[in-house]
Each structure stands twice: as structure tokens, then as C-alpha cells.
Structure 1
């Protein structure tokens, strides 16, 4: 692990502007997520807003969002760059606003057929399926595990995920899980980070009654 990666893991990370490395390819994200982000932000906020977000990113990241094949895999580090710009510019640094925008992105990624299935599922069921859904959109060393506690909460445990120390990625992970529950129940579960290390974290969700 290089010095830049170690520093990013142990502090509030800045947006990387360096070229991609082998390490960048360890955790990958399906091109569908990049395409969904482009379409959703453009539809919801307008093309000028999308262009302003792209202008704040390195050229190779801009090209990826423009040309990504929905079935191919790309470095998750590129999405991380975008998420930081999204928080800074569109959410104007407001975490609650960022969560709202991120939930909208996640909801946009749930296609019509999958949403029909979710409408028949409970909040607990869809949260327990988060590890399965993760493998559909991501590949790499990270592993997820769901746990139901005695008091009815659902815990999502992340292991070997390089972005656990990034506070925006923790918010993004919460928003992604909340979006699934919203799609299934039209209600928002309470969420919090109850544990976090350099490469692990645990999210807790209290299900709506």
C-alpha cells in the first residue's frame, strides 16, 4: 500500500488527482452505476449542474462517466472522486442533503422489475439481502455480512473494504441501504455507524414499525 493510500485511510481523505494504479483496480464497480449517476443527476438537476460536477473532476474521470459500458468494471476510486465532488458542490457540504441525493441515486439504480419484487418484501428481508446485492455491482476483496440482533436491528458488517475511514463513503453506504428499504416499504429506517476501523465498519438499521 502506497503512502497516499495509507494517508487517505487514516484521515479525512482529499479527492485524489493522481493517475490510476494497480491498487485502484482492487475494488471495482460496475459501469451501470456510473451511467445511472449521469442519467439521474442530469434528469433531476439539469445538464448544467452535471457539467459543473464533471468540470471539478480529472479528465480521465470525466471520460469514464461519459463512456462507461454498463456491463464492464471500473475502479471504485473513480466513484469516490465523484462522491466527494457531489458532497462539496451539489450538497454544498451538508451531510443530510448528501444523504438525500445519494438515496435518490440508489433508487434510480433499482430497475422497474426489481422494484416490483421489493414491493413484496419486508424491510428486514431487503437489508438481509444487501450482501447479495453488493456482489451484483461490486467486485474485489470487500465482503459484507448481515446480522439480525435480539432487539430487531439489522447490522451490516463490512470487511476488507478500503474506504471505511472515508466519512462520505460511510454516508453513501447508509444511503444505499436506506434506499432499498424505501423501495420496499416507502419508509426510511434509522441508521448509524456503530463501529469503524481502517478496513471494516458496521452499520446499524432500526426498521420502521
Structure 2
């Protein structure tokens, strides 16, 4: 049986607002280079043949090309202009995927995803059609109610990360529908067309760099990786 080609749609549409910086968060430097470059290197390390599609806001494409020159960043990738929302950005990225394939959608600001995690997600997507990386919550959880809040058993919950991997045909079908408010990630979009989501164990190191505190962790993790 032919092995399906693997794609990584890396969505990097963030601003620097919550980071309290003028630089878009995916371009902030960690351990000597922009966060987005670290993220791409994780996928390249997993599989040098993975086809990377980087989705950025239209107004950031020139800045990204300049950063690639400045840091002599040579990993081959396609760049695609994003949409007004994450849904639109993933849909635009999908246009660069040819034929049937396995497609991982990943946050550009999750630069510490393990190669084993990427492999597990692709393998599960190949077998089941859809696979989403998730971890168990460490903290207690309370649900907001009309009366205030109530404790809920955390063993029944998972915190969703990326990559989220799918067969391209499934992802295309899901993204043909109109965007709805409850589409918070690719899993919710795919689930809405009746597909079952398989969960793959993630890692607490697979952080999404969003706030200034996350940068402190990021520098520490990057130093450990060497």
C-alpha cells in the first residue's frame, strides 16, 4: 500500500498584544531565532520530507521572508496568506495540499512539540482518519453555572493541543461548510461532519506561547534542548 504524503499546515496568525510587544508573537526571538523557526524545525526533525505550509497574515509575509534571510533559514516551505479567522487561515492552507495526504495542523507558537508526539498523531490519523493531541488537566476544574459554579471531575476532561492530524479528504470536507461560532479548533470542525476524533497523548512541554510568562518557560525549554 502506498504511503500517503505528509503535510504540516503551520498556522501563525498571532499579534504581539498579549505578549505586550509590537512584534507578532511567532516572530519573537527565543534562544537566538524566531519562535516560528523552532516550530518548523520540530516537523523537519520528525520527517525531512514533510511538506510545510506556513500560513501568515498577508501583511506579515514580507517580514517573514526578510527574517528567513536574516537568520539564513533554509528549510523549504510554502507560505500562504491567512484569512480573517483561524478557520479561514486553515482553509487557505488546505488549498496548498495536493490529493490525498495526511495533514497536521499546528500552532506556529508551539515550538516544543516532541517528534514522537508528531509521529503518534500522524500514525493515528493514518489509521483512524482523525487524531488530536491532548493532555489531562493538572488543576481542579469548575463549571460556571447560573447559580455560580460547581466542581466537575477532571478525569473526564482533556486539554487540547496541536498538532491535530487528519486525512486531507476529511479535512477538506469539513472546511467546505460555513464557519460557526463553536469552531474553536480543527477537531470541532471535523467532528461537526460526523467524524470521530481519536485522542493522542501530548506533553506538558508542548506549550502555546501566548503571554510574557510563557517566554520564560520557552527559554528554559530551548536551553535544555540545546
Fold shared, TM-score > 0.5 on shorter chain: no
Larger radius of gyration: 2
Q: Looking at secondary structure, tell me which structure has more helix per residue.
A: 1
TM-score interval, normalised by the smaller of the two chains: 0.3 to 0.5
Q: Looking at secondary structure, tell me which structure has more strand per residue.
A: 2
